[in-house]
Amino acid sequence: QSALTQPPSASGSPGQSVSISCTGTGNDVGAYNYVSWYQQHPGKAPKLILYEVTKRPSGVPDRFSGSKSGNTASLAVSGLQGEDEAHYYCASYAGGNILLFGGGTKLTVL
C-alpha cells in the first residue's frame, strides 16, 4: 500500500492557526476512524499527539485538534508557539496489521 499523502511543509506566525492534511483512500483513512498523529522534533523520537482522529493523550495541549472528512484527515494547531515547530506524521489503520504512515509535514513557525 502507498503511504498517505501529506504536504511537505506548512507554516504560520506565532498565535496563528495552521492545518495539515493527510489524504488516503477508501481503504484506509476513509474506511476507519483510526487515524493518529505524531510530532517529531529534530533528533528526537516521535510523540503521539492525537489518536482515533480527534482524541488527545493526557498532557497534549488542546491547541491540537483533529478531524476527518472522506479520505482526508486533518491536524489543526491553533495559537501557534515556537515549540510547535517540528515534523508531523499521520498514520492510519489500513485493514492489515501494519500501520500506514504519511510522508510527513515540516511545520515552521515564522
Interatomic CA distance for residues 100 and 108, integer angstroms: 24
User: Shortest CA distance to 6 belongs to which of 31, 24, 25?
Assistant: 24
Instruction: Assess contact for 3 and 100: CB atoms under 8 A.
Output: yes
> Under rule CB under 8 A, which residues in 64-93 are in contact with other proteins?
89, 91, 93
How many of the other CB atoms lie within 10 Å of CB of 86?
20
Instruction: Assess contact for 27 and 92: CB atoms under 8 A.
Output: no
User: Computed from CA positions of residues 30, 32, 33, 39, in that sequence, does the dihedral angle turn out positive or negative?
Assistant: negative
Q: Which is nearer to other proteins, 34 or 64 (CB)?
A: 34
Choose, by CB under 8 A, the member of 38, 77, 107, 109 that binds other proteins: 38
Q: Which is nearer to other proteins, 48 or 79 (CB)?
A: 48
Binding range to other proteins, per CB under 8 A, among 13-21, 69-77, 78-86, 94-102: 94-102
Choose, by CB under 8 A, the member of 12, 24, 66, 102 that binds other proteins: 102
Choose, by CB under 8 A, the member of 11, 33, 41, 48 that binds other proteins: 48
Task: Give the residues lining the site for other proteins (CB under 8 A).
Answer: 3, 34, 36, 38, 45-48, 51-52, 57, 89, 91, 93, 96-104
